[in-house]
Structure 1
Amino acid sequence: MKSARSRAAFALVGVLSVGTLTACGSSSEASDDPTGPVTIEVAIDAGLEQAAVDAFDERIAQFEEANPDIQVETKEFTWSGTTFAAELAGGTLPDVFPIPFTDGRGLIEAGQIADISDLVAELPYADDFNPTIAAAGQAADGGMWAVPIAAYNQGLHYNRQLFEEAGLDPDDPPATWDEVREAAEAIAEKTGQAGYAHMTQSNTGGWILTTETYALGGRILEGEGEDVTATVDNPATVQALEMLHDMRWEDDSMGSSFLYDWGTINQDFAAGKIGMYISGGANYPNLFTQNQMNPDEYGVTVLPLEGDDAGTLGGGTLAAVSSAASEAEQAAAVKWIDFYYISKLTDQEAAVAEAEVAAETDQPVGAPALPIFDRETYEEQQSWIEEYVNVPLENFAPMTEQMFDQPVVPEPPVATQDVYAALDPVVQAVLTDEDADIEALLADAQVQVQILIDRA
């Protein structure tokens, strides 16, 4: 789920017919001349502290100085599965906006974002993306319509202070699901806070249930192309739901809030109300800039993997351009994507400039993330900014020491957000009804998901 992007982190994001798409997103009346003066509107996360806004504004100033014919304006935007389709159809999106990997192919096939593939192909690193990651933003012919800007593998985020209060070692977080359950029970008993919390709505319940299924060796969908079949009622998903049921009803270790989405679970985790939860492994910058997470209290580790085919769900965020953007606006938009999102990963001067601004405004620098290129490029970029790193890297060590060794499994390839939405009620039922019939719930969901696949 999101970055987002990518966030990560990630109701129906309907693929509207091109004929119903109104003119949208463009912030200017600029000429179609790609070399003339142009104004573009770019997305900025909603709810940022002033320091984060100041850092963003400084980067805009640097971009405009380097590109005097381009003016950049900002618009608050945070992707949500329940609102994105309406924003897309209503023409309220900025010219440049982030979308999760799961939305890329559908929007491309429907022509609902601009075809910037020729512009992207001219970038020096266009062929250097990890092929698995690049595919999320590519059309069937391989042209890149949306640019990968962040990737993640799911992580188990935990509150180090609550671990200590519960008598647990925050430097040795759970490595098995039994240990997760034991730690959750200890946290709930010793601190009175939720030991483990679970997202349940706005498609996030299905997202995290799918994550848990992967980690136990199962899959929600199987097959490729036109031969994809729903496998929602697999043994691993049953096991995941039974674990949630027992933690909720036998251990009483999951607190009293069972309608979390990505934003609200981040709020409560940062506020010290949650001991552990699953989200994208690169979620720390959001927790810090939007929820004022205390860095000393933050910890993250890889998910326990159990089962013959276990893996960690991987996803990420794409930068897309409005289909209503003029030729000039598209060219300017790709320059912005290159400058703001990518150059800091591939160019030392750009990396240092970004890090300097972030450090000066007390924004996180150096928070580890799954790379969109290769490991060597990632580690080189980290070395460029080493003197500016201001996050507690030792608190990320349980993740960074293992994340490259875990198999990364892509999100379900067909009707992804719809599938997640269909699974939300299943998770909600298990957490709110002690007598919920897990097998019956999954049997119903199996039928619903197969219908969604067949319609896709």
Structure 2
Amino acid sequence: MKSPRITLAYTLVGALALGGTLAACSSDSGDGGGKSTPSASAAPTLDPNTKVTLKVVGLLPGSTKEAQAALADEVKEFQTENPNITVQTQDYEWKATTFAADLAGGTLPTVFEIPFTDAKTLIANQQITDMQAYLNQLPYAADFNKNLLQYGQGQDGDVYAIPAKSIYAVGLHYNRDLFTQAGLDPDKPPTTWDEVRTDAKAIADKTGQAGFAQMSQSGTGGWQLTVDTYARGGRVESEDGKTATLTNDGTKAALQFLQDLRWTDNSMGNNFNYDWGTINQAFAAGKVGMYTSGQDVYTSLVQTNNIDPKMYGLTMIPLEGDNSGVLGGGTMAAVSSKATDDEKAAAIKWIDFHYLRKYTNEQAAVTNAQTQVASKQPVGTPELPIFSQAQYEKYQTWIKPYVNVPLDQMTSFTSKIFDATLVNEPAVATQDVYAALDPVVQAVLTKKDADIDKLLDEANTKAQRAIDSAGR
């Protein structure tokens, strides 16, 4: 029997390879493929005597000293291997509300990270550079999971954004300590939304903390409401990406759930302005009993929020009704269209070293794991492989002696995710759809008499306008 960690990875890759669900994470309605054979033109190589300073994404703002030390060690090792390249890291957190302005204003590093949902738009706007010829220099360039790689491809078939981090599937994160304090069994987390509501009220009543919390800001409210919609069988956009469907029964049920927790049960605390970073902070500080987010968030909770591993639990998000599924997404590495040829050549070396080589080279995997463990950083957080299933199995074998995350506290997720249908994010005007839903979530959490139907009608009009504009 495969370990839960490997089973999770295999299952998600299988879903992608079968053309299921995570496959349409672009924010553009184009086919994303173009030519089947990418450009083979040669890229300029970097003269080892040419000095280059490369600005790259670092860690999330506020990351621990240990995490910063681990990254500094990695940069030092890279620069030893590439003495002509000076790497400067920049704290970075992608946010829908600020990314476009940061990119236009030139405040982003040369190598930055983007969600799958943004790659097509940035390619169309010529804001990220064609990296195909540089990617071809890597020995594993042809080994990517093509169902992932396509989301960074332009109409010409060339790769502009490179899969850099694992695909996530959204799970339910819970505080084992608060469960115990509330008289609940932390080894038996809720499996239905009714149980989530019951447990949330018990936590709130007996501990004074929020039993359940929901993101609501900077596009995260719409993102997580879409998660909740999928879990109840609804969709916020038609399959062809032409029609907004925010008024579906699944979204209404999800909002009614939040309204009940907030106003009937009083189990959501008193903070209704969370985004991804602040809800992680509150959870790690013991102020939140449960919330939904990507299954890989444990790494950030350690690096940025210094979470106590003993209090952490991960389980499946409840799935109810026909057509229910789990939302998934991912992260790509991109290079500014303003980069010089020397910076592009240096960038592909950094992307190889920092993101990808550990999955294809045993020594790189072991060295990376040893560096992370020495700095008390997580090794072994469940993830989806960027390359083949067989290659990922090798990688898991390489790092097995160094795994230091509480996998036994995640088994109610890793042992069940393979039975779930994975569903891509809305394919067209993704961030605009999420932005249209943010005020709906905020209103439900802050106004007792919020009219869900009216709010969704208004949001649907906004989303449809964005979809129509994206299609022009």
| TM-score normalized by the length of structure 1 | 0.90
- Residues 379, 402 of structure 2: 8 Å contact kept: yes
CA distance in 2, matches of 1:241, 1:107: 32
Tell me the equivalent position of 2:286.
Answer: 272
CA distance in 2, matches of 1:73, 1:398: 40
Would you say 1:48 and 2:63 are equivalent positions? yes
Could you list the per-position Cα deviations for residues 30-74 of structure 1 after superposition, in whole angstroms to 9, with x for gaps in the alignment? xx8732332211111221111111111111111112222322122
Within 5 Å, give how 1:2-401 maps onto structure 2.
34-35=46-47, 36-45=50-59, 46-150=61-165, 151-224=167-240, 228-401=242-415
Displacement after TM superposition at 1:370 (Å): 2.8
Aligned length, in residue pairs: 425
Could you list the per-position Cα deviations for residues 387-428 of structure 1 after superposition, in whole angstroms to 9, with x for gaps in the alignment? 111111111211221223322111111111111111000001
CA distance in 2, matches of 1:402, 1:64: 42
- Partner of 1:221, secondary structure, is coil
- Residues 37, 70 of structure 1: 8 Å contact kept: yes
Gaps (5+ residues) in structure 2? 1-26, 29-43
| TM-score normalized by the length of structure 2 | 0.87
- Residues 208, 278 of structure 1: 8 Å contact kept: yes
* Identity within the alignment, %: 54
CA distance in 2, matches of 1:373, 1:82: 32
CA distance in 2, matches of 1:389, 1:37: 37
| Inter-CA distance 169–372: structure 2 relative to 1 (3 Å threshold) | farther
Within 5 Å, give how 1:375-454 maps onto structure 2.
375-454=389-468
CA distance in 2, matches of 1:375, 1:405: 18
- AA in 1 matched with 2:75: I
CA distance in 2, matches of 1:410, 1:128: 23
- AA in 2 matched with 1:104: A
CA distance in 2, matches of 1:451, 1:213: 21
- Residues 168, 294 of structure 2: 8 Å contact kept: yes
- Partner of 2:410, secondary structure, is helix
- AA in 2 matched with 1:34: L
CA distance in 2, matches of 1:307, 1:126: 41
CA distance in 1, matches of 2:327, 2:145: 16
- Residues 193, 275 of structure 1: 8 Å contact kept: yes
CA distance in 2, matches of 1:251, 1:426: 20
- Partner of 2:205, secondary structure, is helix
Tell me the equivalent position of 2:4.
Answer: none
| Inter-CA distance 189–375: structure 2 relative to 1 (3 Å threshold) | farther
CA distance in 1, matches of 2:442, 2:168: 25
CA distance in 2, matches of 1:126, 1:135: 13
| Inter-CA distance 141–171: structure 2 relative to 1 (3 Å threshold) | farther
Displacement after TM superposition at 1:89 (Å): 0.8
| Inter-CA distance 131–312: structure 2 relative to 1 (3 Å threshold) | farther
| Inter-CA distance 332–404: structure 2 relative to 1 (3 Å threshold) | farther
Q: CA RMSD in A?
A: 1.7
- Residues 153, 370 of structure 1: 8 Å contact kept: no
CA distance in 1, matches of 2:384, 2:207: 33
- AA in 2 matched with 1:85: A
Displacement after TM superposition at 1:365 (Å): 1.2
Q: More deviation in 396-405 or 336-345?
A: 396-405
Displacement after TM superposition at 1:375 (Å): 4.1
- Partner of 2:344, secondary structure, is helix
CA distance in 2, matches of 1:433, 1:376: 52
CA distance in 2, matches of 1:404, 1:396: 14
CA distance in 2, matches of 1:107, 1:57: 30
- AA in 1 matched with 2:400: E
